[in-house]
């Protein structure tokens, strides 16, 4: 690692109160994520970042990790990472450019629309989810979704020209995030006792990276409407840049939603996605996987807008994904069937939008 190792933030994630409000909740001082997932120390080795989030059976192999494990802990990678090597000024610039874009007139934003001729949905561009069914729940958010990698596959027609810095900021930011993604994947491979580049090599030159800019305007009824409904990210890994001032993200754990505080100290949040779960979670049959894509959602705020920027790292759509061979043995056979990434994505959308449950990885279980 060129920048001396990422650090995990000791986070104090409080249970959300019943009306979904993220910022006002002080019902409980129970620091679940802080005590269970993150050791109480400020600087951890790179290896420990992920160890904090791994299943206890793997964790026991790691002398450097001070995590206290409880039987039945679920395992998920959803931690705030600092000392990640990205300049705070760059993170601020991306946030400012995003905010400026969302504050443009609707007419201006529609120049990047995700609807062709105002009707036909496409993944890239400005807008909301595709509406597939009459009773589909829509999110209280505006989005700009852009393919960032491979660089040759960028559709600049969707890339805003206002603010002027937007394109350059995103380009630079993507380069930094890619390096962080590599660091995280190498650390994960090490923990799994795989070849260091084994996971990085799952991403060939056609592996897509999408940037999703989320804007959550103030919402008059936060008790009724969610900014993003419960989901687990589909791609393999997400690097999330969050608003410094307004919280809203929540994670589900043991049936309770927990608030993630606003990222006032320039932390990034790393999520494991479902693709990675299918790829690497094989040996722990008893525990349903070493890594799982954590379920999360975003709540709305009555008074304040919120911005976040997610970089989603997927694998080549033509790639067949399934358990990595090195992780399988006679005692630990595959738990998931193999499928091309593009077919898995279709299934995921059907499940998620159709309300049949957001965890497509479960549908793939053998």
Residues that bind ligand AKG (CB under 6 A): 212, 214, 228, 233, 240, 242, 249, 296, 298, 308, 310
Nearer to Fe ion, 149 or 233 (CB): 233
Nearer to Fe ion, 323 or 358 (CB): 358
Instruction: Write out the two tokens for 95.
Output: 């946030």
Question: Which residue from 73, 79, 233, 316 is in contact with Fe ion, where contact means CB under 5 A?
Answer: 233
Looking up tokens 């600049």, which residue turns up? 156
Binds 209: which of Fe ion, ligand AKG, none (CB < 5-8 Å by kind): none
User: CB of 252: closest distance to ligand AKG in angstroms?
Assistant: 12
User: CB of 12: closest distance to ligand AKG in angstroms?
Assistant: 17
User: CB of 347: closest distance to Fe ion in angstroms?
Assistant: 18
Helix (H) or strand (E) holding 183: helix 166-191
Query: Applying CB under 5 A, which part among 70-78, 113-121, 184-192, 228-236 lies near Fe ion?
Result: 228-236
CA 213, 218, 219, 225 torsion-angle sign: positive
Tell me: cis bond preceding 163? Omega within 30 of 0 counts: yes
Nearer to ligand AKG, 33 or 242 (CB): 242
- Reference 215, options 297, 299, 301, 142; nearest CA is 142
User: CB of 249: closest distance to ligand AKG in angstroms?
Assistant: 4
Burial class (CB in 10 A: 0-12, 13-18, 19+), 128: middle
- Reference 283, options 356, 221, 332; nearest CA is 332
User: CB of 304: closest distance to Fe ion in angstroms?
Assistant: 20
The residues, any chain, with a CB within 8 Å of residue 96's CB and separated by 6 or more, are 163
Task: Give the C-alpha separation, 318 to 342, whole Å.
Answer: 6
Task: Give the C-alpha separation, 56 to 7, whole Å.
Answer: 20
Binds 309: which of Fe ion, ligand AKG, none (CB < 5-8 Å by kind): none
> Which residue's beta carbon is nearest to the bound ligand AKG?
308
User: CB of 95: closest distance to Fe ion in angstroms?
Assistant: 18
Tell whether residue 129 is a contact of Fe ion (CB under 5 A): no
Binds 242: which of ligand AKG, Fe ion, none (CB < 5-8 Å by kind): ligand AKG
C-alpha to C-alpha distances, 205 to 73, 237, 315, nearest whole angstrom = 36, 16, 9
Binds 298: which of ligand AKG, Fe ion, none (CB < 5-8 Å by kind): ligand AKG
User: CB of 130: closest distance to ligand AKG in angstroms?
Assistant: 15
Nearer to ligand AKG, 51 or 177 (CB): 177
Looking up tokens 């070849």, which residue turns up? 195
C-alpha to C-alpha distances, 33 to 51, 75, 110, 257, nearest whole angstrom = 14, 12, 40, 11
> Is the separation of the CB atoms in 285 and 214 below 8 Å?
no
Q: Residue 102, SS3?
A: helix
User: CB of 306: closest distance to ligand AKG in angstroms?
Assistant: 7
Nearer to ligand AKG, 59 or 240 (CB): 240
User: CB of 11: closest distance to ligand AKG in angstroms?
Assistant: 14
136-147: b or e for each residue (b if 16 or more CB lie within 10 Å)? eeebbbbbbbbb
> Is the separation of the CB atoms in 344 and 301 below 8 Å?
no
Residues that bind Fe ion (CB under 5 A): 233
């Amino acid at each position: 690692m060129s920048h001396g190792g990422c650090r995990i933030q000791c986070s104090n994630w409080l249970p959300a109160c019943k009306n979904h409000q993220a910022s006002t909740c002080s019902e409980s001082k129970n620091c679940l994520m802080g005590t269970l997932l993150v050791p109480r120390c400020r600087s951890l080795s790179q290896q420990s970042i992920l160890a904090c989030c791994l299943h206890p059976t793997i964790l026991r192999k790691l002398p450097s990790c001070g995590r206290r494990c409880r039987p039945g802990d679920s395992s998920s990678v959803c931690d705030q990472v600092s000392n990640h090597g990205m300049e705070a000024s760059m993170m601020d610039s991306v946030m400012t450019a995003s905010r400026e874009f969302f504050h443009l007139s609707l007419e201006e934003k529609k120049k990047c629309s995700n609807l062709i001729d105002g009707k036909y949905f496409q993944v890239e561009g400005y807008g909301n989810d595709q509406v597939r069914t009459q009773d589909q729940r829509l999110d209280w958010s505006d989005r700009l979704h852009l393919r960032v990698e491979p660089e040759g596959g960028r559709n600049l027609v969707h890339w805003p020209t206002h603010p002027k810095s937007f394109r350059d900021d995103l380009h630079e930011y993507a380069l930094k995030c890619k390096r962080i993604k590599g660091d995280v994947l190498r650390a994960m491979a090490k923990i799994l006792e795989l070849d260091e580049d084994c996971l990085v090599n799952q991403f060939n030159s056609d592996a897509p990276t999408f940037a999703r800019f989320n804007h959550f305007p103030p919402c008059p009824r936060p008790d009724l409407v969610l900014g993003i409904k419960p989901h687990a990210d589909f791609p393999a890994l997400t690097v999330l840049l969050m608003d410094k001032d307004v919280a809203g993200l929540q994670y589900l754990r043991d049936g309770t939603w927990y608030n993630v505080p606003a990222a006032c100290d320039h932390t990034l949040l790393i999520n494991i996605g479902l693709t990675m779960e299918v790829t690497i979670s094989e040996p722990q049959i008893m525990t349903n996987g070493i890594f799982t894509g954590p379920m999360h959602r975003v709540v709305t705020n009555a008074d304040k807008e919120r911005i976040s920027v997610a970089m989603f790292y997927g694998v080549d759509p033509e790639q067949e994904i399934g358990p990595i061979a090195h992780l399988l043995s006679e005692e630990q056979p595959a738990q998931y069937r193999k499928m091309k990434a593009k077919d898995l994505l279709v299934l995921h959308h059907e499940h998620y939008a159709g309300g049949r449950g957001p965890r497509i990885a479960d549908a793939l279980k053998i």
